[in-house]
Amino acid sequence: MKKLINLGKPAKTTKSGFILVPVSPMNIPRIGDRVVTRKMEEVGVIVDLIGPVSSPFALVKPSKVVNEDLFVVRGYGGDRKGEGEGVGKGSRKGSRKRGD
C-alpha cells in the first residue's frame, strides 16, 4: 500500500534545472523519494534538502515540469509476512557471535 504525503507547491526552478519546493518541517521527505502530482503522474525524485530546519526546501530533479501541488509517495513499513520496505530486512546469517 502506498501513501501520499503533501510536499507543497513549487517555488521556483533553479538555473541547473531543479525544482525548489518549500517543505513543512512536520513532513520532511527522504532523499530518493518519488515526487508525483495528485493524479500520480511522476514528476521526479528528491535529490537534496536545503535551508534552515524551521523552513526547509526540497530539491527535486524533474522528469517533467509542473506548477501544481506535489506529493511524495511513501510505502508502508510492511506487514507480518515481511513484505514491504521495513527497516532491518535482510539475512540473519552471521548476526550471532560464534565461538571457536
Each residue of 7-64: pLDDT tens digit?
999 999 999 999 999 999 988 999 999 999 999 999 999 999 999 999 999 999 999 8
Domains: count for the chain: 1
The whole-number average pLDDT for the span 63-88 is: 72
Q: Confirm whether 36 is domain-assigned.
A: yes
CATH number at residue 59: 2.40.10.230
Task: Please report the DSSP string for 2-23 in residue order.
Answer: EEEEEEE---EE-TTSPEEEE-
Q: Confirm whether 32 is domain-assigned.
A: yes
pTM of the prediction?
0.70
Cell of 70: 506535489
CA-based R_g, the chain, Å: 17
Q: Confirm whether 100 is domain-assigned.
A: no
The rounded distance, in Å, linking the Cα atoms of 21 and 12 is 7
Q: Confirm whether 92 is domain-assigned.
A: no
pLDDT confidence of residue 99: 62
Q: Confirm whether 90 is domain-assigned.
A: no
Range of the structural domain that residue 17 is part of: 2-75
